Structure 1
Amino acid sequence: MLIQEYFPIEFSLESQKLTRSFRLLQTIVHPDKYSNRTSREQTNSADWSSLINKAYKTLSTPIERGQYLLQLEGEQMPQDNSALNKEFLMAMMERNEEVEDAKDTETLEGLNAQLINELENMAQKLNILFKTQDLSGVKETLVAMKYLLSIQNSIKQKQQSLLGS
């Protein structure tokens, strides 16, 4: 019996099911349940709890899940921009400038809403790319997602600075 029968290796997943499984596993191994046990049992509990937390964090985030599945295929993320075309890179520069030029939180919220939509579309695209084993497409999409997440982080920082002033 293969582990894939119980835990299929695919990009698509039900987030509510993942969260339920995470919580169930944590109720079993959480260190608080082992506070009156031997030090070995406490250590094992802490190790398992930590591993479950890391797995949940990896699987619950589309970009991290994609990178993990890519590694399972024996592939690595490119360390440069070679997976992206120049038009995309220029568009990212323009978007960064839009964030820098934004004067109010409403503008930033609009930009962030666009990014959220694009990231959701890219996650759907990753599902198809993994199913068709288009690993170069997976890499390109994951690198593009990293750029969008970086811009999203810039938006959050700009919002905080606008709220602080």
Structure 2
Amino acid sequence: MRKTTNFASCITRRSTYMHCRSCTTSAPLTHQAVDCWNCKKKIMHLQKMICSDCGHLQDVNTSINYFDLLSFPIKFELEPLQLTKRFRQLQTLVHPDKFSNKSDREQSNSSDWSSLINKAYKTLATPVDRGQYLLNLKGEQMPQDNSSLNAEFLMNMMERNEEVEEAADNAVLEQLNNQIIIDLEKNANTLSKHFEAKEFENIKKILVEMKYLLSIQQSIKKKQQSLITTIS
């Protein structure tokens, strides 16, 4: 899997959102000038989280998309370790504990930014959520039914659900779960190719299939918990 830009070489503690050629080449952002609410100095979009002149935490920018917020190219494929690293960097920057002695506005901004960063990370860290979010950015909507799925796939899902219900021990459930993990990984790899080719109907079909697989995975976890409760 191709890796994204190593942002550790692009940012510093003092200016997390300063202009970086390698970052903006892969994930271009709009350089929209705004006024700092505290010192009124003009700041660029890339510096919008913290003012570089007075150091005050800015109001949350709800219009920024999750990829831009976490400094990733707007595409399906990403490096999970880099995503987690970037998430932790931003959370460290805006953590509410750092602003406990600041003004009410900065405390509120800290909470808002932290919440937005958490939501962005959870969305991009999960392939299905990331895929659906990326579809929305491209003006596409997920289907409201399963008409895109063929009968063979639906039959296979029914059979797997029955296997989960009939499983009498954890070993069988683990085997079923391992197959789900393999199938999800295959679908994620296929999704990346379809996104590159802008094959949106295929993308929607695979995302629906992945949601079925995730549903079965949840059933497996519930059954495992049920077996533990029965034994104890």
TM-score (norm: length of structure 2):
0.69
What is the total number of aligned residue pairs between the two structures?
165
Higher Cα radius of gyration: 2
State the distance in 1 between where 2:198 and 2:26 align. Answer: 20
Q: Does 1:85 align with 2:108?
A: no
Could you tell me which of 27, 31, 39 is aligned with 1:4?
Answer: 27
CA drift at 1:4: 2.6
Letter in 2 for 1:39: D
Task: Report the Cα offset of residue 8 of structure 1.
Answer: 1.6
Superposition deviation, residue 42 in structure 1? 0.2
Q: Look up the equivalent residue of 1:164 and give its one-letter code.
A: T
Matched, 1:149 2:214: yes
Is residue 2:78 matched to residue 1:13?
yes
Separation (CA, whole Å) in 1 of partners of 2:90 and 2:129: 21
Structure 1 stretches of 4+ with a deviation exceeding 6 A read none
Identity of aligned residues (%): 62
Residue 130 of structure 1 aligns with which residue? 195
- Cα distance between partner residues in 2 of 1:98 and 1:76: 33
Q: Which has the higher contact order (CA 8 A, sep 6+)?
A: 1
Whose helix proportion is higher, 1 or 2? 1
Shift of 1:12: 0.5
Of residues 76-85 and 53-62 in structure 1, the stretch that sits farther from structure 2 once superposed is 76-85
| Structure 1 residue runs without a partner (length 5+) | none
Alignment gaps of 5+ in structure 2: 1-23, 29-70
Please give the secondary structure, in 2, of the residue aligned with 1:82.
coil
Structure 2 distance, partners of 1:86, 1:71, is 27
CA distance in 2, matches of 1:108, 1:32: 42
Which one of 104, 111, 129 corresponds to residue 46 of structure 1? 111
1:57 aligns with 2:80: no
**Alpha-carbon displacement from aligned partner over 1:139-159 (angstroms, at most 9, x marks no partner):** 000000000000000000000
Give the aligned residue type for 2:153. Answer: F
Cα deviation code 1:105-128 (max 9, x no counterpart): 000000000000000111101100
1:3 Cα deviation (Å)? 8.0
Q: Give the structure-1-normalised TM-score.
A: 0.97
Across the aligned residues of Structure 1 and Structure 2, the Cα RMSD in angstroms comes to 1.3
The equivalent residue for 2:169 is 104
Letter in 2 for 1:85: N
CA distance in 2, matches of 1:104, 1:137: 37
